[in-house]
Amino acid sequence: MSKNLHIKNMVCQRCIMTVESDLKSLGIPYTEVHLGQVNLKAPLTINEKNLLVERLVKQGFELLEEGNSSLIDKVKTVIIDMIHHRQELPRINYSEYISEQVHKDYSYLSKLFSSVEGITIEKFIIKQKIEKVKELLSYGEKAFKEIAFDLDYSSVQHLSNQFKKETGMTPSQFKQMSRPERKPLDSL
């Protein structure tokens, strides 16, 4: 069994505290608990897994099998690759693209992703796009209009509004910072 567990319906701070409490009371060592995920210090034994599953079910949670967690990882990988590692974004609807790449129905993926990650796929895409904007602004090689076009925004204003909503500052304010704050992709 993996050292990372994915837990369905774990979507708030109170959920995290509940799962942490269950892990402590069962004596299961962990390093971190995030929305939808627990990072263990060591893989669970069969007995530990059974006890944990029993506790989680009582709390209204569900331990996802590794197939579901790998499916979420595939969705994240497709999105990160699409936004950060391609010269050009696909010119089809993102939901169609993700569905084609993962070979699963988008509505199923969307529900699974939201229940485990605590945010929608669309919100995850926005966060990735904003990090890409930060990266491109930091390099200073492209005009804001080019960045908006490259990342498939309908207008510079739309990108600017979304950037401000996500970061609390305008792109110009971000660009003027001496050491702009960027986040590692795996922490989004």
Which class would CATH give 4-64?
alpha beta
pLDDT digits (tens, 9 = 90+) for 146-183: 999 989 899 999 999 999 999 999 998 888 886 656 66
| Residues whose CB is less than 8 angstroms from the CB of residue 61 and which lie 6 or more positions away in sequence, other chains included | 7, 8, 9, 10, 15, 19
How far apart are alpha carbons 54 and 39 in whole angstroms?
A: 19
The sheet that has 62-63: what strands, in order across it?
30-34, 37-40, 4-8, 62-63
8-state DSSP, 35: T
pLDDT of the residue at 115: 83
CATH 1.10.10.60 assigned to domain 124-187? The reply is yes
Which pLDDT score, from 0 to 100, does residue 181 have? Answer: 66
Residue 39, phi then psi, degrees to nearest 5: -100, 115
| Number of CB atoms found within 10 A of residue 17's CB | 11
Is the distance from CB of 75 to CB of 102 less than 8 angstroms? yes
Q: Which residue in 94, 73, 74 sits closest to 83, CA to CA?
A: 94
Q: Spell out the domain ranges in the chain.
A: 4-64, 67-121, 124-187
What single-letter amino acid sits at 184? Answer: P
- Flag residues of the chain having pLDDT under 50: none
Report the alpha-carbon distance of residue 137 to residue 133 in Å, rounded. Answer: 6
Q: Check: CB of residue 86 under 8 Å from CB of residue 131.
A: no
- The pTM for the full model equals 0.65
Q: What is the Cα Rg of the chain in Å?
A: 19
The pLDDT score that the predictor gives to residue 58 is: 92
